[in-house]
Every structure is written in structure tokens, then in C-alpha cells.
């Protein structure tokens, strides 16, 4: 396969379903990378090894039942040494049981387009029905390479620290012998033979080869080298890189599961989907008319207020934020521009600016104009009579309207789940300092879940929560919105 485009350059029996052996661990590791990316688990999460994981046969790291070890070391052991006990421990740490993890593996395989693959376990030891094809494994290798490039260096390490001890790469002979080789995964069982998904890069070209059923390590490596040589010979030098589409997230958020196109025949259960209410407030209430004002007078008066609000918006949406300009008190009438309305306009303008609609830097500080000391104010306790209004503006009668500034601050955002309250509070503080433009004034809240501690910011409007999430995701920070409860 030409990794850049996904084009198959040569194939033989590529759709035959065979035992993948430890090539299975590519999917186990792919899901582990996905879970870390979405905050289900972290690399520093301490995993307690189960009796089931510790009992897996070699190749293994030598984990003991009840032992505690960080996830990062389990990932290294599975990727480099191909440790079966480490692979099982990863699956149980993410999904609670190996059976549940296998179901997630199958959902992910379907989303990746691996149509002839069925997983039964996280390690690849021979099990009835645990089958894949050379074509599907090439697809898996390509997604490992392009979906999580930050982890891909694991597969080219000749040795690595697995927490308990230094372990050697099962693919070290091929990595040393073939020019440009940098991965990916070996596999062997008696039923499968010697398998290898290999990848190599030379200049602008990158080729992925897959071999199933080799008779020995040497024979497998020789066939892999032959296929890679053929690939480099047939591949064009100038090919546009078309990264494969990353599948929809298949993991957990809180107590719910996000599943795209769940198969009803897979475990007999459909996954749950998270649905967010369309709005927090069902309807908008209009202010009542003041006594003595007819309905026919309302339209022009409200239009006048809207024009003034538009003027305030225009005053803040400029290429450069200028200091407030003093305005003569006699030029301002409270009946036309109410202070809360101006504040609301300024907030909305600031959100528009942060989204890039006006060209102002996202962190620009937008402040409403100070209320002049001699401004004529409407009484909070007594209604303004028509005669009083006539004194302020003899030619017109005005209706004072007030725009709500609450913004429906019943929304929040989640920036990940962490193994301890301290870790969650630390990331909340770090994120708040990073994104002061939208999170200023929000409430930092840590929620204790059965699987960890959620780090949440609460007390935001829907628009601000959405903006904050988009800005954080642009900085590679995990984030999703939390609707009103």
C-alpha cells in the first residue's frame, strides 16, 4: 500500500480471513491512544492488574495480580515487547473487562473500514472467530501512522523502559536490516505463523506491507522486504498526501457512551447517544407597555432603541479598540439607551470579535462606556409620567426597554477526566489561565465519578461555552460542552 494515498500497489490473497496473532495489538493501542486523547484515561493513570491479565501466557511483561503500574508502561510493553498481559490490562483499564473492550475493538474496526475483521480479545492469542485479513491490517497500520503520529515513534524503538524493566523490540531485526523501516508490529502463534505489518519511508515515499503466515522470522522479514521494494518501485514520487478520515469517537463521556452506527448484533446492545437540549429558556418574555402608551406608538419607539443598540455595537466593532470618549450628558437620554442594553451589546460584540468576525484580537478588552454623572435616570420605584418624559424630549414619547444580560449561564464545558482530584484541579487552573478571554468569571468544579474526576467549568452561556471549547480544541486541549441539567 502507498501510505500517502491508500492505493494498493500489489496484493495476493489479501482478503483471506486468517489469524492475525499479535497484529491485534495495533487496534488495542489505537483505542488506548484514542482514550487518552478524549480524557477517558491518562498516560499516568495507575492501573491495578487483574488476575485475568496476570494469567496471560507469554509473550508477557511478567505482571502480577494486584500489582499497580502506570498506563504509559503498559502501552510501551504492548507496542515494543508485544506483551499479552499488558494488552489485556489496557483493555480492562479502559472498558472494565476484556469482553467489553473486544466489542469496542469491533465497533472501531467497522468505523475504520476493516470489513472482514472480528476481534475476540485484546492480545491476539488464537481464539475461534478472531480473524482478519492482510488488507484490513494495512488499513489499521495506515490509521496508526496518520491518526496518532505523536505515538508512532513507539514502534521504532529498539528497546524501551516498561516500568518493571527494559524490554527489547520483537521487530528489531527488520528495523536494523531494512533501510527506512520504522515499524510497525509483529505477530506469531502456531495457528497464524509469522506475521508482520511493516512500514518504511524513503524520501517522499512511504510504503506499508503486510505478510501473513510466514514459516519463520527470516522468511517473513525477507517477504516483507520484497514487498516494500516492489512498493517503492511502483509508487510515484509526487503523490499528494491524503490522510485517512479519522473515525467518530467510540468511547465514554461521563456515564454515557458515544457510538457511531452501532451494530445491533454486536453484543445485543445499542450504544447510547448524548443529546443536548436545543435551548435552556423555552420562550422569551416581552416587557409590558407603560400606562397611557397605545400599541400603535410602540413600533417606532422600539425601533429607535434598536437603532441605538446597533450604534453601540458599531462603536465597539472597530479595527482597534480606542479609549472611551467623554460624551456630554445633555446628549444622552436614558429612554433611548439603557445601560444594561449597552453592556449586553458589548458582550455580544466581544464574542463576535473572539470568533474572528471583526478582525480584533481575541483577547482585546471591550468595556462599555461609563454612565455620565448628570444622566437623566428613570426612577426604579415610580413610573415616569408622560409629562416628565415630555420635558426631557418635548417632541416624542419614549418607552424604556431593557435587554436581559443573564445570557442563560446554565452551560459548562468539560476538559477531561483525571485519576485524582488534585490532577483535575491543576488542569482547571492551567486552562483558566490559558483561556481567560472566555472562562473569566466561570466556576471551576471537580466532579467525582466512579472512573475518575471530571474537570468542569460551569456558569457559562451556551455561546460562550461553545466558543471556549473551539478555542481550547484549537490549542489541542480536550473539551466538550455540558448542557443544562
pLDDT tens-digit readout, 282-299: 444 555 555 555 555 545
pLDDT at residue 351, as a whole number? 46
Sign (positive/negative) of CA torsion 293, 297, 302, 307?
negative
- Rounded to an integer, the average pLDDT of 180-184 is 95
Under 8 Å between Cβ of 263 and 118? no
Task: Show Cβ contacts of residue 351 under 8 Å, excluding neighbours closer than 6 positions.
Answer: 463, 464, 467
pLDDT at residue 367, as a whole number? 57
Q: Look at residue 424 and tell me whether its pLDDT is greater than 80.
A: yes
pLDDT tens-digit readout, 6-24: 999 999 999 999 999 999 9
pLDDT tens-digit readout, 78-103: 999 999 999 999 999 999 999 999 99
Chain centroid to CA 410: how far? 22
- Assign domain 411-482 to its CATH superfamily: Sporulation related repeat (3.30.70.1070)
- Characterize 163-200 residue by residue with b for buried, 16 or more Cβ atoms within 10 angstroms of its Cβ, and e for exposed: beeebebbbeebbeebeebbbbbbbbeeebbbbbbbbb
C-alpha grid cell for residue 397? 414619547
Under 8 Å between Cβ of 351 and 463? yes
Enumerate the β-bridge partners of residue 195.
187
Q: Look at residue 272 and tell me whether its pLDDT is greater than 70.
A: no
Omega into 12 within 30° of 0, i.e. cis?
A: no
Q: Report in angstroms the alpha-carbon separations of 172 from 5, 125, 138, 181.
A: 27, 21, 20, 10
CA distance 412 to 280: 12
Q: Look at residue 387 and tell me whether its pLDDT is greater than 60.
A: no
pLDDT tens-digit readout, 471-480: 898 888 889 8
Residue 57, SS3?
Answer: coil
Compute the mean pLDDT over every residue in the chain, rounded to the nearest whole number: 79
Enumerate the β-bridge partners of residue 209.
198
Task: Show Cβ contacts of residue 448 under 8 Å, excluding neighbours closer than 6 positions.
Answer: 421
Q: Which one of 34-48, 261-275, 279-293, 462-476 scores highest in mean pLDDT?
A: 34-48
Residue 435: burial class (beta carbons within 10 Å; 0-12, 13-18, 19+): buried
pLDDT at residue 375, as a whole number? 56
CA distance 244 to 146: 7
pLDDT tens-digit readout, 131-163: 999 999 999 999 999 999 999 999 999 999 999
pLDDT at residue 192, as a whole number? 96
Omega into 59 within 30° of 0, i.e. cis?
A: yes
| Domains of the chain by residue range | 21-257, 295-392, 411-482
Nearest CA to 467 among 439, 429, 431, 430? 439
CA distance 323 to 344: 19
Q: What is the DSSP letter of 101?
A: H
DSSP run (H or E) holding 404: none
Please state which CATH class domain 21-257 belongs to.
alpha beta
C-alpha grid cell for residue 179? 533501510
Residue 417, SS3?
Answer: strand
pLDDT at residue 476, as a whole number? 85
Sign (positive/negative) of CA torsion 239, 241, 242, 245?
positive
Q: Look at residue 251 and tell me whether its pLDDT is greater than 60.
A: yes
Chain centroid to CA 66: how far? 32
pLDDT tens-digit readout, 122-136: 999 999 999 999 999
Confidence bin at 313 (pLDDT 50/70/90)? low
C-alpha grid cell for residue 93? 483499564
CA distance 84 to 59: 6
Chain centroid to CA 318: how far? 34
pLDDT above 90: percentage of residues in the chain: 57
- Rounded to an integer, the average pLDDT of 331-357 is 45
Annotated catalytic residues are 22, 25, 82
Sign (positive/negative) of CA torsion 50, 54, 57, 58?
positive
Task: Show Cβ contacts of residue 348 under 8 Å, excluding neighbours closer than 6 positions.
Answer: 313
Residue 79: burial class (beta carbons within 10 Å; 0-12, 13-18, 19+): buried
pLDDT at residue 149, as a whole number? 95
CA distance 82 to 6: 26
pLDDT at residue 354, as a whole number? 44
Could you tell me how many residues make up the chain? 485
pLDDT at residue 473, as a whole number? 87
Nearest CA to 178 among 132, 147, 209? 209
Q: What is the DSSP letter of 78?
A: I
Under 8 Å between Cβ of 68 and 47? yes
Q: Look at residue 457 and tell me whether its pLDDT is greater than 70.
A: yes
State the CB neighbour count (10 A cutoff) for residue 101: 23
Q: Look at residue 364 and tell me whether its pLDDT is greater than 70.
A: no
Amino acid at each position: 500500500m502507498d501510505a500517502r494515498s491508500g492505493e494498493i500497489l500489489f496484493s495476493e490473497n489479501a482478503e483471506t480471513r486468517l489469524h492475525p496473532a499479535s497484529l491485534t495489538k495495533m487496534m488495542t493501542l489505537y483505542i488506548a491512544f484514542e482514550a487518552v486523547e478524549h480524557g477517558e484515561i491518562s498516560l499516568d493513570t495507575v492501573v491495578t492488574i487483574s488476575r485475568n491479565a496476570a494469567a496471560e501466557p507469554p509473550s508477557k511483561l511478567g505482571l502480577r495480580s494486584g500489582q499497580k503500574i502506570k498506563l504509559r508502561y503498559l502501552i510501551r510493553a504492548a507496542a515494543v515487547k508485544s506483551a499479552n498481559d499488558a494488552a489485556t490490562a489496557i483493555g480492562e483499564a479502559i472498558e472494565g473487562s476484556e469482553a467489553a473492550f473486544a466489542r469496542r475493538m469491533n465497533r472501531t474496526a467497522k468505523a475504520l473500514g476493516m470489513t472482514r475483521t472480528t476481534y475476540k480479545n485484546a492480545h491476539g492469542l488464537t481464539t475461534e472467530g478472531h480473524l482478519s485479513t492482510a488488507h484490513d491490517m494495512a488499513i489499521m497500520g495506515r490509521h496508526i501512522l496518520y491518526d496518532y503520529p505523536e505515538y508512532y515513534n513507539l514502534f521504532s524503538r529498539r528497546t524501551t523502559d516498561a516500568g518493571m524493566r527494559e524490554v527489547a523490540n520483537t521487530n528489531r531485526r527488520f528495523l536494523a536490516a531494512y533501510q527506512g523501516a520504522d515499524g510497525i508490529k509483529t505477530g506469531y502463534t502456531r495457528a497464524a505463523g509469522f506475521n508482520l505489518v511493516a512500514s518504511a519511508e524513503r524520501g517522499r515515499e512511504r510504503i506499508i506491507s503486510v505478510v501473513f503466515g510466514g514459516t519463520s522470522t527470516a522468511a517473513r522479514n525477507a517477504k516483507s522486504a520484497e514487498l516494500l521494494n516492489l512498493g517503492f518501485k511502483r509508487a510515484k514520487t509526487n503523490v499528494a498526501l491524503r490522510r485517512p478520515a479519522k473515525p467518530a469517537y467510540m468511547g465514554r463521556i461521563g456515564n454515557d457512551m458515544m457510538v457511531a452506527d452501532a451494530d445491533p448484533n454486536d453484543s445485543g446492545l445499542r450504544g447510547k447517544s448524548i443529546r443536548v437540549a436545543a435551548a435552556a429558556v423555552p420562550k422569551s418574555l416581552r416587557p409590558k407597555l407603560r400606562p397611557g402608551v397605545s400599541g400603535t406608538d410602540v413600533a417606532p419607539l422600539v425601533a429607535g432603541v434598536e437603532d441605538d443598540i446597533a450604534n453601540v455595537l458599531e462603536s465597539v466593532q472597530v479595527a482597534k479598540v480606542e479609549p472611551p470618549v467623554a460624551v456630554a450628558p445633555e446628549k444622552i437620554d436614558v429612554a433611548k439607551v439603557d445601560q444594561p442594553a449597552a453592556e449586553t451589546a458589548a458582550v455580544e460584540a466581544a464574542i463576535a470579535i473572539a470568533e474572528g468576525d471583526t478582525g480584533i484580537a481575541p483577547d482585546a478588552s471591550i468595556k462599555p462606556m461609563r454612565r455620565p454623572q448628570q444622566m437623566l435616570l428613570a426612577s426604579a420605584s415610580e413610573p415616569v409620567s408622560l409629562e416628565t418624559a415630555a420635558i426631557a424630549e418635548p417632541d416624542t414619547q419614549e418607552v424604556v426597554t431593557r435587554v436581559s444580560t443573564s445570557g442563560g449561564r446554565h452551560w459548562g464545558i468539560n476538559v477531561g477526566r483525571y485519576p485524582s482530584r488534585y490532577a483535575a484541579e491543576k488542569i482547571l487552573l492551567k486552562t483558566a489561565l490559558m483561556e481567560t478571554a472566555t472562562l473569566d468569571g466561570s466556576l471551576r468544579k471537580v466532579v467525582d465519578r466512579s472512573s475518575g474526576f471530571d474537570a468542569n467549568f460551569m456558569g457559562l452561556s451556551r455561546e460562550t461555552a461553545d466558543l471556549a471549547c473551539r478555542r481550547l480544541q484549537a490549542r489541542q486541549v480536550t473539551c466538550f460542552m455540558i448542557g443544562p441539567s
